[in-house]
Amino acid sequence: MAIDLVTRREWGARQPRGAYGRLSSTRGVKVHYTGGQVSPDIVGDHARCVALVRSIQNHHMDGNGWIDVGYSLLVCPHRKVFEGRGPNHLPAANGSGLNSGHYAVLGLVGSTGFTQPTDDILHGILDAVEYLRDKGGAGDEIKGHRDGYSTDCPGGPLYAWVKRGAPRPGGGTNPPEPHPSFPGRVLKYPPVMVGEDVRTWQRQMRTRGWDIDVDGLYGEASRDACRAFQREKGLSATGAVNRATWQATWEEPVT
């Protein structure tokens, strides 16, 4: 499912008071919670989510004196992702000195009232993480605010989920095995591409039974194997390993 973004205009965000610091990439994302009381009524009434996000922005700008809401993205129980500072902008919520390392994603979960993250909020957080990977160069890490900073955030239940590796909920009886995440560049030929990501993909293809050298060089043979694999799986036969092909190399059953 594609990300369900709520734009700043849609949630009535105030304009930032200054320019954001720029980020071209991060090691990953830190997960936060609202803390305090979040009414369980929020689950039945998205208007309450909008009001809560606006109050968080007001608190960050008027209480903390920040130029804007501190989070990169904010996620509500309706699997909607509110634009905060967005990708490529320095967040403010991780703590001094820790903002350039990770984007900051908030789940609207309290420490009283609405405290147990629902499947939709977990999916929404992962939608946000994938969006930051695609648009903002976020790396593989998913951590909690409390990692490296003295705080309860993101609360017990969300943190336990982070520590389990932040899995998609309800992955059915056979959730896909964790596998190396897409390297962020498309592997293609010509010219020959060189790298550990190429080697990782080749090794997996070999494991699947393809006759392919694991040499870290993406040349003609890799391209042809890729194209044949894509045809077999009904993917567009480009001979280039994009995100979908990379994932299929691990997630599709071997036939």
**Closest CB to Zn ion among residues 143, 145:** 145
Q: Which of residues 156-215 bind Zn ion (CB under 5 A)?
A: none
Chain centroid to CA 92: 18
**Closest CB to Zn ion among residues 133, 145:** 145
Q: Which of residues 70-99 bind Zn ion (CB under 5 A)?
A: 76, 78
Q: What is the CA radius of gyration of the chain?
A: 20
The one among 27, 46, 188, 208 contacting Zn ion by CB under 5 A: 46
The one among 56, 81, 125, 153 contacting Zn ion by CB under 5 A: 153
Instruction: Tell me which residue of 107, 215, 207, 214 sits closest to 161, measured CA to CA.
Output: 107
**Closest CB to Zn ion among residues 10, 224:** 10
**Distant-in-sequence, close-in-space partners of 103: CB < 8 Å, separation ≥ 6:** 23, 26, 28, 29, 30, 72, 73, 87, 91, 132, 136, 138
The span from the CA of 49 to the CA of 184, in Å, is 33
Q: Which stretch binds Zn ion (CB under 5 A): 25-33, 60-68, 176-184, 237-245?
A: 25-33
**Closest CB to Zn ion among residues 32, 223:** 32
Q: Determine, following the binding rule CB under 5 A, whether residue 32 of this chain makes contact with Zn ion.
A: yes
Question: What interhelical angle do 243-251 and 220-232 show, nearest 10?
Answer: 70
Q: Which residues bind Zn ion (CB under 5 A)?
A: 32, 46, 49, 76, 78, 145, 153
